[in-house]
A = this chain, B = another copy of it.
Amino acid sequence: MEYPSASMTQSEENYLKGIYHLSHAGRASVSTNAIAAHMETKPSSVTDMLKRLSDKDLVDYQPYKGVTLTSGGTAQALRVIRKHRLWEVFLVEKLDFSWDEVHEVAEQLEHIASEKLIDRLDALLDYPDFDPHGDPIPDKEGHFKTREKRLLSTLQPGEKGVCIGVKDSSSPFLRFLDKNGIALGTRIAVLEKEEFDDSMAIQMGEQQLQISHQIATNLYIKPIT
Interface of A with B (CB < 8 Å)? 91, 94-97, 101, 104-105, 108-109, 112-114, 116-117, 120-121, 124
A interface: dominant SS: helix
User: Considering the chains assembled together, what is the distance between the CA atoms of A112 and B10 in angstroms?
Assistant: 13
> For A97, what are the chain B residues with a Cβ–Cβ distance below 8 Å?
116, 120
Copies of this chain per assembly: 2
Measured CB to CB, the closest approach of chain B to A185, in angstroms, equals 23
**Residue from B113, B121, B124 in contact with A108 in the complex, judged by beta carbons closer than 8 Å:** B113
Residues of B within 8 A of A108 (CB): 112-114
Query: Are A105's CB and B101's CB within 8 A?
Result: no
> Is there contact, CB below 8 Å, between A96 and B112?
no
A121 to chain B: which residues have CB within 8 Å?
Answer: 95
